[in-house]
Structure 1
Amino acid sequence: MDAFRRAAKTGASPALLTGIRVALGIVSVALATALSATAVASIHMARRVVTPAGRVPDTRILALDTAAQTITLAKTPDTGLPGRYGLFTTGTSTYVKVGSVLSQDDVSVKRKLLTHIGSDSRLSPDAAFSGWYYDRPEQLHLPFTPELIGSVVGPCPAWFFPAGDGDTWVIQVHGRGTTRAECLRAVPLFHSLGISTLVVSYRNDGEAPRSRTGTYTLGATEWRDVDAAVGFARRRGARRIILMGWSMGGAIALQVSLNSAHRHAIAGLILESPVIDWRIVLQYQARIMRVPPTVSGLAIEALQHEWTAPIARAGSAIPFDRLDVVARAAELRHPILILHSDDDGFVPSDASHELARARPDLVQLEVFDVARHTKLWNYDQDRWTQRITSWLREMNLAGSREGAEV
């Protein structure tokens, strides 16, 4: 507009003035369009962060040999990992277990099937590679009971695996976009050490009741459901409670540790591939998805303010400062063991390293490589087992092992 006024004062021709006016109009429309597109993209990202989502296929089944009981998958950073894993698909089977890598090249990986697939079976090509391994508690061949944990949102389903004298319990908390079956692979280890296990659910995870908005708060409210489980454990005789969180479950466990009225009963935390600072995680994931920093920054801003939270469908503002445990490191009171892979691929290990540096008196960090996100047990079960066992014994939380298979 200043350019237009200067041109008018100098007696520019009407044609030039018209051209300037048109150019300014085009620039204004382009700027408004760009700002509008950025705002829309930011709101879309913010909604994705807090909206529970189903499992997304991340590989394809290229071949199935029922005679040799092998399966060939498209090559990804995960499908070529050594160890035992699970595979979600559709067809005559919805979940199959896969074992060792038999061969691989640049585009495919052939693995041994650990779930028998009959010759008349049909599986969808689209599949999701998982670190779950066990998908039902019966597969552990350990005694357990289904339980309901009374929370403010309603009864939250749980599985209880009794062990030892019932003095020490571990409460396991699953991650974002998954369910409590994610935690089953850790149960045999705790059982063998005489530690009872309570595997819990929390609001909006597809098993526990839905909150009013039906969206995640990234641990800011979910911790209350886990805290209800701590109260349940104490009423059932638990004197010492270990919290174990997987991925977002780590963020939830940390909030319980910081906020629970039962803090004195919490003996320690075990965090597997944990979220410790959500802003680091969201910015990392935005870079992977090639989302511009402006968009991811605005998405975080939209989520953390009350007046924009409804637009982002968050229900209420997400308190990122309160969820940043590195910044709150001085408030920690419980010993913590963190297991994290430096090539996690989903939740970067940066905040885990920062927390270990901030509180070396409380935090021990076991760094893996190659193992990816929440697949440390699958990748190197012996090392994973030995590290947790040694930490539990160091904290005087474990009895002698009974030789159970883990």
Structure 2
Amino acid sequence: MDAVAKGLTRTGTDVRPWNAPAEALLLTVDGVRIHAAHRPLSGSGESAGRDLAVVVAHGFTGAVERPALQRAAGVLSQYAGVVTFSFRGHGRSGGLSTVGDREVDDLQAAVDWARSLGYRRIVTAGFSMGGAVVVRHAALYGGVAAVATVSAPARWYYRGTVPMRRLHWVVMRPLGRVVGRLGLRTRIDPKEWQEIPVPPVEAAALLAERGIPLLVVHGDSDPYFPLDHPRSLHRAAAAKGSSQLWIEPGFGHAENAADEALLERVGEWLTSER
């Protein structure tokens, strides 16, 4: 199924990254409309070339229009073209959030759109829930040159911190889902997973088979996930493949806490020659 749906824009055969549409509505393989946005290369990073795009996956309760994702996209666009999108149940996208399961299909729709814009090489970067999604997507779909995961969980159902216990209440309880919809502007699927998705740590181990390098970034002040999560992801990917682990002093959680200097380093890693 064509990932580019009728909506905000249409793409044509003459589209190139530097004159491509700024926004689009995409259609996933399971029929969910996904709002996406595009920024062409804005900096002098010609060493990366105009054929490289970073597709960025936000954290739970994020969206294309949120300031933290806009800031991240602005920094990363100094190194490559950038495609951002809102996961299902978030922002202007349709559907309901499955909190990391079917979101891999949303990411694939965004990757397909980036290719339709003329980008020949795609890398992905994700934050928190989006960090879990980019690892799972690379393992399940492949087709990307590198993956950076920031503040991601290694396994499902973690409740070892107060913020994660609160998040589970939002996701699992009817009143919590009302709070999610009204207070956090996130629409959550009330149905539990029928099959437990491949955990991020198992997906990380599969990246070596696909030859996809992984960067794992985590803060030593992350209030959601302690350091055994990034270390587990790194060990799984490094056992047979290429993985780097950055433990960032004083860094908190996901795109809201990522400063410009850290985003620049991630951009440099994603666009480096390998």
Say yes or no: TM over 0.5: yes
Equivalent pair of 1:218/1:318 in contact (CA under 8 Å) = no
Counterpart for residue 73 of structure 2 = 187
1:178 correspondence with 2:178: no
Query: 1:275 is aligned with what amino acid?
Result: P
- What residue is the counterpart of 2:180 in the other structure? none
Q: TM-score, normalised by structure 2?
A: 0.71
Aligned partners of 2:155, 2:220: CA distance in 1, in Å? 16
Partner of 1:372: 252
Task: Output the amino acid matched with 2:73.
Answer: V
Deviation at 1:269, TM superposition (A): 0.9
Q: What secondary structure does 1:160 align onto?
A: strand
2:243 aligned with 1:363, yes or no?
yes
> If the length of structure 1 is used for normalisation, what is the TM-score?
0.49
Give the C-alpha shift of residue 149 in structure 1.
Answer: 1.6
Question: Is 1:327 the counterpart of 2:224 in the alignment?
Answer: no
**1:209 corresponds to 2:94:** yes
* Aligned residue number for residue 160 of structure 2: 284
Aligned pairs (5 A) from 1:3-402: 145-151=22-28, 152-163=30-41, 166-180=50-64, 181=66, 182-193=68-79, 195-210=80-95, 214=96, 216-260=97-141, 263-264=142-143, 266-279=144-157, 282-285=158-161, 313-317=190-194, 319-320=196-197, 322=198, 324-332=199-207, 333=210, 334-360=212-238, 361-374=241-254, 375-378=256-259, 381-382=260-261, 384-392=262-270, 394-396=272-274
Q: Structure 1 regions of 5+ residues with no counterpart?
A: 1-142, 300-311, 397-406
Q: More strand by proportion, 1 or 2?
A: 1
Which has the larger Rg?
A: 1
Q: Distance in 2 between matches of 1:219 and 1:259?
A: 13
Question: Taking every aligned residue pair, what percent have the same amino acid on both sides?
Answer: 25
Q: Does structure 2 conserve the Cα–Cα contact (< 8 Å) formed by 1:169 and 1:197?
A: yes
Q: Which amino acid aligns with 2:56?
A: Q
SS in structure 2 at match of 1:198: strand
Q: CA 1:392/1:226 → structure 2, altered by over 3 Å: closer, same or farther?
A: closer
The answer (yes or no) to whether the contact 1:368–1:376 under 8 Å persists in 2 is: no
CA contact (8 A) 1:159 1:200 kept: yes
Offset, 1:371? 1.9
Aligned residue identity for 1:177: T
Contact kept? 1:144, 1:162, Cα under 8 Å: no
Whether the aligned pair in 2 keeps the contact of 1:218 and 1:251 (CA below 8 Å) is: no
Q: What amino acid sits opposite 1:368 in the alignment?
A: E
Is the alpha carbon distance of 1:259 and 1:359 closer, same or farther for their aligned partners in structure 2, counting shifts above 3 Å?
closer
SS of aligned partner of 1:352: helix
Per-residue deviation, 1:277: 1.4
Q: Report the Cα distance in structure 1 between the residues aligned to 2:235 and 2:34, rounded to whole angstroms.
A: 36
Assess, with a 3 A threshold, how the Cα gap between structure 1 residues 318 and 217 changes in structure 2: closer, same or farther. Answer: farther
Q: Report the CA distance between 1:227 and its aligned residue.
A: 0.5
Distance 2:24 2:203 in 1: 34
Aligned residues: 221
Unaligned runs of 5+ in 2: 1-19, 173-188
How has the CA–CA distance of structure 1 residues 328 and 198 changed in structure 2, closer, same or farther, with 3 Å as cutoff?
Answer: closer
RMSD: 2.8
